[in-house]
């Protein structure tokens, strides 16, 4: 673990309050069922890829704690964002994530995601599920859910033990390093990336 990863993880942990609003395992599972259901509708729609990506962006905004995920991916550098930069960064990050992962929708045609159970972890719930894709071995797909904003939202997805949030932290950190810490340059790059 390098210094950036340690500081980013520590900053993200500090953003989660010790006591969240009352969230139950059933509510966490309901959220994941809605996310999976909406994604499955988009996959089955037969729409062109660019429209599927737009639909995925709407799903991400509706069910994801986008501001937290984006801030966590940027780590301690998020504190350097001005108000307008923060808005532009979150918008650019949302588009980047939607394009990057939305392009993989075709891999999920005919997929089945089954919720296996939920466990409480610290101050959030992890909804554990199994994804079965056509022609591939089943794999673990877990959603981390909290309501720190007052609304039930997922703030991470863990695929086979690999955190989407931590993976993006690495990617965004590398992009920012390439720009030598220039936040406006990073925002510009994110608008084209994915």
The pTM is what? 0.82
- CA quadruple 166, 170, 171, 176: dihedral, nearest 10: 130
Q: Let me know: does 128 contact 117? Beta carbons within 8 Å.
A: yes
What is the per-residue pLDDT for 14? 43
Of 95, 52, 81, nearest to 190 by C-alpha is: 95
Pairwise CA distance, residues 116 & 40, whole Å: 18
What is the per-residue pLDDT for 106? 67
% of the chain beyond a pLDDT of 90: 64
User: Is the model's pLDDT at 9 over the cut of 50?
Assistant: no
Task: Quote the mean pLDDT of the chain.
Answer: 86
What is the per-residue pLDDT for 13? 43
- 164's CB contacts (< 8 A; 6+ apart) are 156, 157, 158
> What would the mean pLDDT of 123-148 be, rounded to a whole number?
91
Left if phi > 0, otherwise alpha if psi is -120 to 50, otherwise beta: which for 54?
A: alpha
Of 158, 165, 170, 123, nearest to 14 by C-alpha is: 123
Domain range list for the chain = 3-12+23-192
> What would the mean pLDDT of 103-125 be, rounded to a whole number?
83
- What CATH fold (topology level) applies to the domain 3-12+23-192? Nuclear Transport Factor 2; Chain: A, (3.10.450)
């Amino acid at each position: 673990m390098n210094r950036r990863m340690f500081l980013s993880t520590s900053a993200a942990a500090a953003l989660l309050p010790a006591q969240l609003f009352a969230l139950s395992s059933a509510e966490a599972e309901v959220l994941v069922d809605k996310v999976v259901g909406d994604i499955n509708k988009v996959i089955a729609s037969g729409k062109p890829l660019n429209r599927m990506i737009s639909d995925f962006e709407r799903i991400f905004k509706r069910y994801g704690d986008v501001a937290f995920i984006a801030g966590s991916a940027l780590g301690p550098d998020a504190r350097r964002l001005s108000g307008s930069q923060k808005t532009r960064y979150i918008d650019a990050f949302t588009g980047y994530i939607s394009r990057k992962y939305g392009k993989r929708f075709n891999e999920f045609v005919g997929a089945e995601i089954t919720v296996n159970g939920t466990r409480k972890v610290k101050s959030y719930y992890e909804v554990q599920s199994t994804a079965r894709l056509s022609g591939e071995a089943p794999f673990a797909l877990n959603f981390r859910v909290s309501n720190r904003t007052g609304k039930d939202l997922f703030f991470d997805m863990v695929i086979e033990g690999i955190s989407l949030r931590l993976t993006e932290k690495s990617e965004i950190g590398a992009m920012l390093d390439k720009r030598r810490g220039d936040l406006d340059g990073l925002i510009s790059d994110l608008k084209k990336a994915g």
